[in-house]
Amino acid sequence: MKKIYIAVLSLFALNANALERYTIANLVDKINPAVVYIKAVEDKTVKENTKANPFSKKDKQAALDNHKKQVSNGIKSKKNYNIGSGVIISKEGLVITNYHVVEIADKITVTTSDNKFYDAKIIGFDQKSDLALLKIDSKDNTHFTFAKFADSNNARIGELVFAIGNPYGLEGTVSTGIISGRNRNIGTNIYDDFLQTDASINPGNSGGPLFDLDGKIVGINTAIFSQTGGSDGIGFAIPSNTVDLIVTQLKQTGKVVRGWLGIQAQIIDESIATALKLESTNGVLVADVTANSPAKLAGIKSGDVILKYNDKQIKNLFDLPKMVAKTAINDEAKITLLRKSQQLVVNAKIISTEQGAAVEISQEDEITVKQLKVLGFYITNLTNEVKKELKITTTKGVLVTNVDKSFKRFNLVEGDIILQVDQKNVNSIQEVKHLVDNSTKPSLLLFINRKGNNIFSVIEK
């Protein structure tokens, strides 16, 4: 009986040690204060009379009817909101979250684990990576608990990780799992490079951290594959090294600049590899080269196979855009390529995607309509083709072709023709971009023609 009692005690001690070794409770207690709950509210106040021009014959009656309706019914207010998660990355209260969590926001509220509420503002965002950087407005200069970044390049498939977030509004929920895969492209854009995890991620986890067992951020939870809307064990997180790179730029300038090479590439499948007598399907095949681009100036030609970029092997079609995007502007990239069975090395001076857009626009002809993104809207020149297609009679200005959701809070809509930027006439998209980029003002006055009526609109940079 004594031996059995001792054996039970020994087994209990062994299990206690095992539990202490493998539990993450202490780690969660330490790092949980860095995780926040985010609520982003869009205030949709119905004010139809501000969207019409009561001085035009066309809109005068509609404006009067709308005024009467508002007087009798009152102005109605409707609020939409998103909820999500975030993680504090500095003692001053810088917060990382997903852009899609805050894109509609007129007001952002951040709730910490001790149930304190703070207003927050957007410092900068990047739609392509779906990241946004926020700053908590702390009246008493609170020093916040924050988390540090891990080196996601060292993250291994099978490594234990855990997520903390607010799925379905359940604050501080912890789920565990492993890194199931790396370098996943899920089709959102050419820069996709996700870590895959089976840690449970659900709506509301967006923007929250994926931690390693050192309590460091290895990724930002962003997306799931699901047939039910909830977790099916296939979640995706933006690697911490990518997040760190984006955050650094957002802190400095409020925007993200990516490198541009100027080629159209296609995947090398088995049939192409056989036709070109390649040993593998590694690399990308150059289908076209933009005139005056870094690639063209470096001597890259259609039909070349790019094998390496700065001595890093290219394994698939998505590797090259990500490598180029991370290259510092004006740096020279070493490109190893294969041309007619001969290996060559060329150097290309990388420029920004914005500079690349200007290069592409310079090649514009009457057949192809080029667009340029400025701040949160897209514009195109009023070519003869555009004017004919849209039945536009004016000969001056540039056409607004699309407006981002985040920019729709300003009085700017698709179909507007921008005539002036800060009281300076504009007749090309290059002129608009030049005036916007070189303005030191926080806001700009636009003079717009909308369906035949001229109005002014103020936008913020």
- CATH number where 328 lies: 2.30.42.10
If asked whether residues 68 and 202 sit together in one domain, one would say yes
User: Token pair of 33, please?
Assistant: 């204060």
CA distance between the termini of the chain: 80
Residues 237 and 210: beta-carbon distance below 8 Å: yes
Q: Is the pLDDT of residue 360 over 80?
A: no
CATH number of the domain at 446, please. Answer: 2.30.42.60
Which residue would you say has higher pLDDT here, 364 or 289? 289
Predicted local distance difference test score (pLDDT) of residue 89: 97
pTM over 0.85: no
Q: With contact defined as beta carbons under 8 Å apart, do 419 and 450 qualify?
A: no
- Average pLDDT of the segment spanning 128-149: 91
Tens digit of each residue's pLDDT (9 = 90 or more) over 395-414: 789 999 888 877 767 788 88
The domain boundary residue, chosen from 354, 389, 421:
354
How far is 160 from 73, CA to CA, in rounded Å? 58
pLDDT of residue 73: 45
Give yes or no: residues 236 and 379 share one domain: no
In this prediction, residues 308-313 reach a mean pLDDT of 94
Q: Is the same domain home to 270 and 416?
A: no
The structure tokens listed for 434 are 């030049």
Regarding beta strands 305-309 and 312-313, do their DSSP bridges make them parallel or antiparallel, or are they unpaired? antiparallel
Q: Is the pLDDT of residue 219 over 70?
A: yes
Question: Do 282 and 269 touch, CB atoms closer than 8 A?
Answer: no
Residue 156 lies in a domain: yes
Residue 196 belongs to some domain of the structure: yes
Q: Among 104, 88, 83, which Cα is nearest to 36's?
A: 88
For residue 224, the tally of other CB atoms under 10 A from its CB is 22
Neighbours of 197 (CB within 10 A): 29
- Give me the percent of the chain exceeding a pLDDT of 70: 84
Residue that wins the pLDDT comparison between 164 and 317 = 164
Looking at residue 365, its pLDDT comes to 42
Say yes or no: 377 and 348 in one domain.
no
**Pair 54, 166 in one domain:** yes
Res 168 pLDDT > 80: yes
The answer on 269 and 185 residing in a single domain is: no
Mean pLDDT to the nearest integer, 97-107: 90
SS3 category, 431: helix
The domain total for the chain is 3
* 236-245 mean pLDDT: 93
Domain boundary among 250, 273, 296: 250
Apex CA 56: angle with CA 54 and CA 57, to 5°?
A: 110
Distance of alpha carbon 106 from alpha carbon 112, whole angstroms: 20
Sequence-ordered list of residues with C-beta below 8 angstroms from that of 48, at least 6 positions apart, any chain: 66, 70
What ranges in 93-179 are assigned the alpha helix state H? 99-102
Active site residue 206: yes
Average pLDDT over residues 134-158: 92
d(CA 369, CA 252): 33
Q: What are the backbone dihedrals phi and psi of residue 294, each rounded to the nearest 5 degrees, phi first?
A: -55, -40
> CB-based contacts of 244: which residues, under 8 Å, 6+ apart?
149
Of 165, 174, 170, 177, nearest to 220 (Cα)?
165
pLDDT at 331: 94
Compute CA 300 distance to the chain's CA centroid, rounded to the nearest angstrom. Answer: 30
Tell me the two tokens of residue 127. Answer: 């739609």
Residues 10 and 46 in one domain: yes
* Set 100, 192, 212, 293: catalytic member: 100
Q: Which domain holds residue 101?
A: 1-250
* φ and ψ at residue 287, rounded to 5 degrees: -90, -35
Claim to verify: residue 159 and residue 52 sit in the same structural domain: yes
216 within 8 A of 149, measured Cβ to Cβ: yes
Asked whether 221 and 318 are in contact (CB, 8 A), the reply is: no
Residues 317 and 196 in one domain: no
Of 327, 354, 381, which residue constitutes the final position of a domain? 354
Does residue 67 have an active-site annotation?
no
Catalytic residue among 130, 198, 212, 319: 130
* Residue in 180, 206, 231, 406 annotated catalytic: 206
Active site residue 130: yes
Angle at alpha carbon of residue 261, lines to 247 and 347, rounded to 5°? 110
| Residue 360 covered by a domain | no
d(CA 90, CA 154): 23
User: What are the counts of helices (DSSP H) followed by strands (DSSP E) for the chain?
Assistant: 11, 27
pLDDT at 42: 83
Q: DSSP letter at 21?
A: H
Q: Where are the beta strands (DSSP E) in 166-271?
A: 173-184, 194-197, 209-211, 217-224, 235-239, 259-260, 263-267
**How do 398-403 and 417-421 pair as beta strands?**
antiparallel
pLDDT score of 80: 85
What burial class does residue 210 get, using C-beta atoms within 10 Å of its C-beta: 0-12 exposed, 13-18 middle, 19+ buried? buried
**Segment (H or E) for 252:** helix 240-253
Do 321 and 372 lie in a common domain? no
Mean model confidence pLDDT for the chain: 83
> Does one domain contain both 213 and 339?
no
Residues 59 and 34 in one domain: yes
What per-residue confidence (pLDDT) applies to 418?
92
Q: Does 297 reside within a domain?
A: yes
Q: What is the CATH number of the domain that holds 184?
A: 2.40.10.120
Does residue 359 lie in a domain region? Answer: no
